[in-house]
A and B are shown apart, each in its own frame.
Chain A
Amino acid sequence: MEAEGLPGALELAAGGGGAGLSPEKRAALGASLALLKRDYRFEAVWFWGCVHGVRGTYYIAQGLGADRAAPRSRLYSLDCVEWSLLTPVAKEVGEQAERLKGRFQGDPSFQYEYAEVSAEDAERLLEDGVEPVIKEEDRLIATIDQIDRAVGIVPRGAFVKTPLGSVHENRNFEGLSLTEAKKLSSYFHFTEPSNLKNKTLLEKANWDPSTDFLDSLEHDIPPGSWTVQPEKGGAVVVLRSLLWPGLTFYHVPMTKQYGYIYFGTGEKNLDLPFML
């Protein structure tokens, strides 16, 4: 969520999740995120959330350029003051990191043995002369990427796509109405769309190509993996993902306020089909 609106947003999003930020961290973030924006020349800085490791917590921020759909820079910090850039990893490493199970350790230099993941891969890599380990940093960025792709959501109409292909915030976005906000179809995954072309002609007829260029949440698998709760009688609509527990999205209907934040252990809830 936007760094500038962070304190107010945390009040809205934290209700219920339980996890939040201590006053010390909040104060530190206010200062350090502004400095990040200056140093890295980001157009916008979003505080993404925290991943709780066993011995420490990673605080994650994202920096965006003018095109909001471009690949984002991700930074992590252990104390909200000093930030380090996370380098994106190769696809194979990312896939292997996704298969790692268990908690994050909280120590960025920790190394996971490949043998835990797949013995054949470990042997193959040993032959190549590469150490069969995955660093926790790599696992971290792979997880963040996965979470963003799977459950990073924005309300419909909040972003527009220009004819040149770049994506910007829609200045005319006035917020969803309360009835719209309760429907899953009003929210989009903020990532490359994968099944836009599979919609029926009827659905496509009502589209506005400038705002409807992303996948909506309606057809997420498994159905029911999002909980939509109007809190305070509809003053705030909170969506929580059950697939990645800890991801909370909030939106105040009829206003421009929205955002999502992740407070969790960085583990996918693979038991979801049993739990619904």
Chain B
Amino acid sequence: MEQASPEHQGPEGFSQLYAEGQDSQEASRSVDQARALGSDPCQRQEPRSACRTYGGGQEHYQAHEDGHGPYQPHEPGYGLYQPGYSPYDDPIPDPEARMLAVQNAKAYLLTSSTTSGLNLYDHLANTLTKILDEQPTNVVDIIENISKDVKWAQFRKKMDTLRDEPAMPPTFESAERSKSLFLKSDEEGDEELDEKGETPLPNVMETAFYFEQAGIGLSKDEYYHIFLALKKLISAQPIQACRFWGKILGLEMNYIIAEVQFQEGVEEEETEEEEEEVPDEGEKGLGEVEDEDEEKEKEDEPPKSTYKPPPVIPKEDNGTGANKYIYFVCNEPGKAWVKLPPVTPAQIVCARKIKKFFTGRLDAPVVSFPPFPGNEANYLRAQIARISAGTHVCPIGFYQFGEEEDEDEEGGGGRDTCEENPDFQPLSVAEMVESLSTWVHYVPSILKQGRCVWINPSQKSEEEEEGEEEEEKDEEPDELQQEIGPPLLTPLSEDEGIQNVPAWTAQPSTNLIPQYAVAILQSNRWPGAYAFASGMKFNNIYFGWGHKYSPENHTPALPEPVQKEYPDGPEITEAADPTVEEELAFKATKEKARAKKRKTRKNE
């Protein structure tokens, strides 16, 4: 590294002391030293000669005053050939006078600075000791910084306690949390294993290994922490099946998401809280008709509003459709897991229209237009539902429909349960990569309505529709699937692409070792969604910001058109009431006219 040695110029060279690696304080310190060493040209004589033993340092004064020496300061040999100042010349031949001069010089060097209490002698000794101990390369280029460090080190001892405190706690806290994950809890044992001997805890490291073959995933450390955090979740909640869903990035913090299925019979107690949380925003939200109720109670009745908000589409029951799984999130492995509320169709519909980053705090409001009915926890849940519905895929044949299902019961395309196929024969990796029809969706897609199973909102009851009606009124499904209501287990080849980009990209994890390659799918609609399949194993995962891909810019919904005013007509046009004088005048003229008429009649 090139660094020109800074010069201890005389005071006239102050501004030039801004050489690299120095800040202004250093510069002023070196100026102080320069001054201390004697700014007077005549005083320079003694120290210079006495300090000759320190090498060519002092010669710089002379050279720069001359300005045009044959040697540049950075060249070797500089200073050795200055006339009269080589180390071998001795301007003070007399030994006694020389001793005195040396003592004077040393005494001068030992004088303490009035501002900092250091003296140059000790400082130079410390600096040289440090240099000789560490022996860095090209030391002359960084001598000033070493000198600064030595000085700094002297001060640091006193301010140690003050400075270190604030920086440490976050690291320590996080380390504490991580450590708590590694502690074995007391209720260890077989309670995690159910009858089949399986544990609900997923083998996160195995999944991590397969995804890593494709270059997807987090660091191993983080995976292991997540693994342990999942274990903690399972021991805390009655969980039947659990899966690491993925990680969503946020502005301040990230979310780690686990997808779980509760054990049978665990009731949801949160339905009450749900409806209270949802705020009443906008006319098309979940607004209850508060206006009408209030106005009935008043005595004077202003005109009743005839507005009826569109009927609220009920959310799907827990355990079915978009609410099939429960999701737990935490910001970091080690922090507490928070359960996300079930998702409502209105939230999904609104989530499709907005595009916001997650902040990382679940209670943050989502400020958007159209106003999102919920806070960040609801938005997160809605995005998770959309991503799951759009990108959770499995190799064909892994799941199959149960035979005893009734076609008519839930309406066309409404089969939203499937079970594992015991006779699953995995296809080879080459086949999986070559054609997208070897993969199928195993999570039902979400219709435009916001539910997986269509419901007619004009019906007051919550019964399911019959098969025929559903076919008539089947709304356009959401953009992910084909036109006809997308049935479960649709192959991916039916997924529409965006412009000229197919919806999925399939690749083997490695071209060099095809025997052990893993088939990897990347979603182009939801960047960050990946799936792998290798033999009997497959899995899905999501790492990303939580947004759908759109090559066009996001255009927010336009505000509603301005409402029409009541038409202006004469019956509501205001007119000034006549004043008393005008009325009297009017009466007077009327009287006059009548009197005139009587007169004329009399005269006839």
Binding site for B on A (CB under 8 A): 11-12, 14-25, 52, 54-55, 79, 101-103, 160-164, 166, 168-172, 177-179, 208-210, 224, 227, 229-230, 232-235, 240, 242, 245, 265, 267, 270-271, 274-276
Contacts and interface: CB of A to CB of B under 8 A. Distances in A.
Contact of B216 (A18, A163, A245): A18
Given A271-B355, A274-B554, A18 B170 contact: no
B249 A240 contact: yes
23 contacts: A18-B216, A18-B218, A18-B246, A19-B543, A21-B215, A24-B509, A24-B512, A54-B501, A55-B505, A160-B21, A162-B2, A162-B20, A179-B167, A209-B18, A224-B251, A227-B250, A229-B253, A233-B170, A233-B174, A235-B174, A270-B553, A274-B355, A274-B556
A24 B518 CA distance: 13
Contacts of A23: 212-213
A271 B216 contact: no
Contacts of A242: 251, 357
Contact of B215 (A22, A101, A161, A227): A22
Nearest to A103: B501
B445 interface: no
B4 A163 contact: yes
B356 interface: yes
A269 to B, nearest CB: 9
B149 to A, nearest CB: 8
Given A166-B2, A209-B18, A276-B357, 12 more contacts: A16-B543, A17-B543, A20-B216, A24-B213, A54-B524, A168-B1, A178-B171, A210-B22, A227-B249, A227-B251, A242-B357, A271-B355
B203 interface: no
Contacts of B21: 160, 170, 172, 210
Contacts of B544: 18
B145 interface: yes
Contacts of A270: 553
A275 B355 contact: yes
Contacts of A163: 4, 19-20
Nearest to A181: B167
Given A172-B145, A232-B174, A15 B20 contact: no
B234 to A, nearest CB: 23
Contacts of B347: none
Interface in B194-239: 212-222
B554 A208 contact: no
Nearest to A263: B215
Contacts of A20: 212, 215-217
Contacts of A15: 218-219, 222
Nearest to A235: B171
B499 A18 contact: no
Contact of B20 (A16, A19, A160, A232): A160
B528 A168 contact: no
A170 B522 CA distance: 41
A275 B171 contact: no
Nearest to B543: A18
Interface in B343-364: 355-357
B551 A101 contact: yes
A22 B171 contact: no
Given A103-B501, A229-B253, A14 B218 contact: yes
Given A22-B215, A178-B167, A232-B171, A102 B551 contact: yes
B167 A234 contact: yes
In the A-B complex, the 10 residue pairs with the smallest Cβ-Cβ separation, listed nearest first, are A18-B543, A233-B174, A210-B20, A22-B215, A271-B554, A233-B171, A234-B171, A11-B219, A178-B167, A233-B170
Contact of A161 (B20, B170, B172, B251): B20
Contacts of B551: 101-103, 267
Contact of A168 (B2, B19, B512, B524): B2
B254 interface: yes
A230 to B, nearest CB: 7
B576 to A, nearest CB: 51
A166 B171 CA distance: 38
A22 B212 contact: yes
Nearest to A19: B216
B204 to A, nearest CB: 15
